[in-house]
Structure 1
Amino acid sequence: MNTLFPIFVKMNQIQTLLVGAGPVGLEKLQAIFRSSPYAKVKIVAEQVIPEVWSFIVNQETIQIEQRSFEESDIIDKDLVIVASNNPDLNSKIRKLTIEKNILLNVADKPDLCDFYLGSIVQKGNLKIAISTNGKSPTMAKRLKEFFNEMLPEEIDETLELMQQYRDQLRGDLEYKIKHLNAITQDIVSKS
């Protein structure tokens, strides 16, 4: 059973540390910025592939330091993502993040993770996160492709209309929820 609690984080309001700037680090960086183009990320890596340098050009919210990880790198960080194939470094960072109550994701090491990066389906303002509880990223990718094809392009227009209707509704919360549920039920059943 998947016991993960799904949340959507305002990455522009927190400080993220990315350790590693190889192909996996690039993948994590791209995933963050696809969903959160104003995320605040500091990258620390001994080696930085050219694609990472190209990606961060004109990205004002990314800092990069080409050097080894230091314990002080996690100071004032809210989230840490590690893209390293160094088990000793991964364990060291795991220990530090536990001590400091910082959430951690270590690429391809589910036992070291507090959270996973799921596959994301996005159509305008609609965003759906898919998790397989770390069991099968490839299945999540296939489901992402399925939902991308299934969801109509006009979904964002529908969401805009729903917000306008919601803003005009008068009454208490229970009344609003009842009316919005009825409307969304009609919309979904007609699809």
Structure 2
Amino acid sequence: MNTLFPIFLKLEELHTLVVGGGNVGLEKLEAIFRNSPKAKVTLVSPEIREEIKALVAHYNLNLIQEKYHISHLEGIDLVTAGTDSKEVNRQVRDDCKTKKILVNIADTPDLCDFYLSSVVVKDDLKIAISTNGKSPTFAKRFREILEEIIPESLQETLNNLQAIRNKLKGDFQSKVQKLNEITKVMQE
């Protein structure tokens, strides 16, 4: 049973640390900035790919080209690590635990406080997909299926529902009941 609690974070209000400047670090940065283009991110690694360096021109990204040290956690709210060293990854996790910072260690579910999901984005609709760490590949394929079947006109529907919601009168329960009636057609 998947007991993970889904959550959407406002990364533009947090400071994220990425440890690792290789392929995994690039993948994490691309996921962060695709979902939160205004996120504040620091990346630390003794070696940093050129593709990562190029991201500095477009995003709020600070690069520190040196080995990870616990001092890099100062002022950090969230961490993801994906170095090619299991020892460094474990140290990052242990340091985060000491400082009570949530951490994701790439490809090591047992060391993670959270997993990065596969995400479907259609304008204002965002759907996160989790396999409880069992198969990121399946989550990616399922995301591709959902992207194909969700209609492009969905944003218009969301805008109309927001307009209706803003005009509804009454208490919270009556508003929810009315919106449930309106959206029931989606099941048919």
Q: TM-score range by the shorter chain?
A: over 0.9
Which structure 2 residues correspond to residues 6-85 of structure 1 after superposition, within 5 A? 6-59=6-59, 61-85=60-84
* Alignment partner, residue 5 of structure 2: 5
* Alignment partner, residue 132 of structure 2: 133
In 1, the alpha carbon distance for the partners of 2:72 and 2:93 equals: 13
Percent identity for Structure 1 against Structure 2: 47
Q: What letter is aligned with 1:11?
A: L
* Alignment partner, residue 187 of structure 2: 189
Q: What letter is aligned with 1:85?
A: D
* Alignment partner, residue 172 of structure 2: 173
* Count of residue pairs brought into register by the alignment: 188
Offset at residue 135 of structure 1 (A):
0.2
Q: What letter is aligned with 2:187?
A: S
Of stretches 115-124 and 90-99 in structure 1, the one that deviates more from structure 2 is: 90-99
Length-normalised TM-score, structure 2: 0.97
Return 5+ residue gaps in structure 2 as ranges.
none
In 1, the alpha carbon distance for the partners of 2:13 and 2:32 equals: 13
* Alignment partner, residue 94 of structure 2: 95
In 2, the alpha carbon distance for the partners of 1:24 and 1:138 equals: 15
Quick check: 2:55–2:61 contact (8 Å CA) kept in 1?
no
Runs of 4+ with deviation above 6 angstroms: none
SS of the counterpart of 2:127? strand
Q: What letter is aligned with 1:46?
A: P
Length-normalised TM-score, structure 1: 0.96
In 1, the alpha carbon distance for the partners of 2:99 and 2:49 equals: 30
